[in-house]
Amino acid sequence: MNWFAKPSVRQTARYLIVAALTFNGVTTGLQFATPAYRVATVIAVVICGAVAARRPHGWYVVPVATTAAAVVFGTALLPLLMLALYDLGTQRRVPAAAICAVVVASFSLVAPVGSVRMDAPTVAVSLVLFAVVTAVGTVVGRRREGLEELNNEIEHLRAERVLGEERAREAERARIALEMHDVLAHRLSLIALHAGVLETKAATVPEPVRERLALLRTASTDALNDLRDVLGALRAPDGREPRRPVLSDVEELVTDARRAGQHISLNVDGLVGEISTAQRLAVQRIVQEGLTNARKHAAGGSVTVDIDRVPDAVLVAVRNTAGTSLDPQAPPGFGLVGLRERVRALDGSIDAGPEENAAWAIRGRIPLASLTNRTAP
């Protein structure tokens, strides 16, 4: 933000300008011959200066006061009158400024008092000055309006960006919940199935064991119903059940991307398949986001996908070389926002940006102990 655009700075500058113009008017008024006229002129200049410095709510107060004073006291009020005309220009009130200038010029030609009367050349010069000051005020006013509209647009875009990021985070949380529903529903179904099979053999087991089997089957069935209720709360806004994600491997993502024409090199080091489902899904999402970004913003470039399992974490890096953007004017999306939300839920970290020997890279680190630590007694 420009420092001069601050209200306090602009108001201080106006005080200084009005003080200088008032001092000029007082000096001019003290040169008049008649003592009474000098005193009246000084009083009029000071009053108009105070009104111009304060700028009351009514836009017409300062122009009317300075115009009336200039008609009566002449050149001593011309500097403050020009300030009033400048203000009218900034407010896009050019007709009002023209009326004030014409009124003062007309009275200056016919006034009987010597200090107020001006000859025709002087009046012409004064009118030119009035026009220039008003024009400068109009230009400044338009510029201020343009800057204000630009600032409003920037604030609007910033608010839209914040809302978009929040929607992306909420969508990612819903997606995680749906994925966990798929995993947990499958496992709870297996528990309920095996408990039901064991109940068919109830005659061959002791009574306490039969009771525990019945309790186990009931608990697993209730858990499945609870999961369905949670899924109902995560339905799409139009009432349709959102499509459940398919748990696909990184190799399938890479294969599909290669079929679409991307040049991809996949390097996997370590037994990544042995990690938990939530962590594996996070790895897949990082790879998916990297491939999508490369396809949209670097078409024709090559992509390298590195997945490395170290003792305490899985490291994922998707790097792409420079290419052609399919839509250079497209605004940035919110894929990384949702991805950060998912990785942060696993106590991991992710960053994206340019990298040496690569036009762009997404790098993620997913700790292997995060889920274990959370479920440990």
Q: Answer whether residue 16 is part of any domain.
A: yes
For residue 347, give its domain range: 250-375
Q: What is the mean pLDDT of residues 115-143?
A: 82
Average pLDDT, the chain: 77
CA distance to 277, 322, 363, 376, per residue, from 370 (Å): 13, 35, 18, 10
Question: Residue 321: which H helix or E strand, with range?
Answer: none
Residue 159: inside a domain, yes or no? Answer: no
Domain boundary residue, one of 182, 202, 233: 233
Q: For residue 203, is pLDDT > 70?
A: no
pLDDT > 50? residue 64: yes
Q: What is the pLDDT of residues 205-230, one digit of tens each?
A: 677 777 777 777 777 777 766 666 55
Is 243 part of any domain? no
- Of the candidate ranges 32-36, 241-245, 263-267, the one whose mean pLDDT is the lowest: 241-245
The token duo for 256 is: 């599909």
Q: In the predicted model, what is the mean pLDDT of residues 48-75? A: 83
Task: Indicate if 23 and 109 belong to the same structural domain.
Answer: yes
Dist CA 81 CA 327 (whole Å): 55
* DSSP string for residues in 15-68: HHHHHHHHHHHHHHHTTSS-HHHHHHHHHHHHHHHHHHHH--SSTTHHHHHHHH
Same domain, 339 and 262: yes
Q: What is the pTM of this model?
A: 0.46
pLDDT the model gives residue 374: 44
Q: Are 62 and 54 in contact (CB under 8 A)?
A: no
285 and 331: one domain?
yes
Q: Is the pLDDT of residue 372 over 50?
A: no
291 and 226 within one domain: no
Q: Which long-range contacts (CB under 8 A, 24 or more apart) does 135-142 make?
A: 135/89, 136/86, 136/89, 137/85, 137/86, 137/87, 137/88, 137/89, 137/90, 137/97, 138/89, 138/90, 138/92, 138/94, 139/89, 140/86, 140/89, 140/90, 141/89, 141/90, 141/91, 141/92, 142/92
CA distance 55 to 200: 92
What's the start-to-end Cα distance of the chain, in Å? Answer: 53
User: Among residues 87, 99, 103, which one has the least CA distance to residue 18?
Assistant: 87
Contacts of 42 (CB under 8 A, 6+ apart): 26, 29, 30
- Rounded to an integer, the average pLDDT of 53-58 is 75
How do residues 37-53 score in pLDDT, each as one tens digit? 788 888 888 888 888 88
The one-letter amino acid code at 247 reads L
Q: Is residue 128 part of a domain?
A: no
Query: Which tops the pLDDT comparison, 375 or 152?
Result: 152
Q: Look at residues 57, 59, 61, 70 and name the one whose alpha carbon lies nearest to residue 25.
A: 70
**H helices then E strands: how many in the chain?**
11, 5
Collapsed DSSP state (helix, strand, coil) of residue 314: strand
Count how many domains the chain has: 3
Mark whether 322 and 353 lie in a shared domain.
yes
* Cβ neighbourhood burial of 232 (10 Å; 0-12, 13-18, 19+): exposed
Residue 327 pLDDT: 64
Q: Do 280 and 223 lie in a common domain?
A: no
pLDDT bin (cut points 50, 70, 90) of residue 318 is very high
Q: Do 200 and 258 belong together in one domain?
A: no
What mean pLDDT do residues 124-129 have? Answer: 84
For the ranges 21-35, 245-259, 297-311, 314-328, the one whose mean pLDDT is highest: 297-311
| Angstrom distance (rounded) from CA 279 to CA 23 | 76
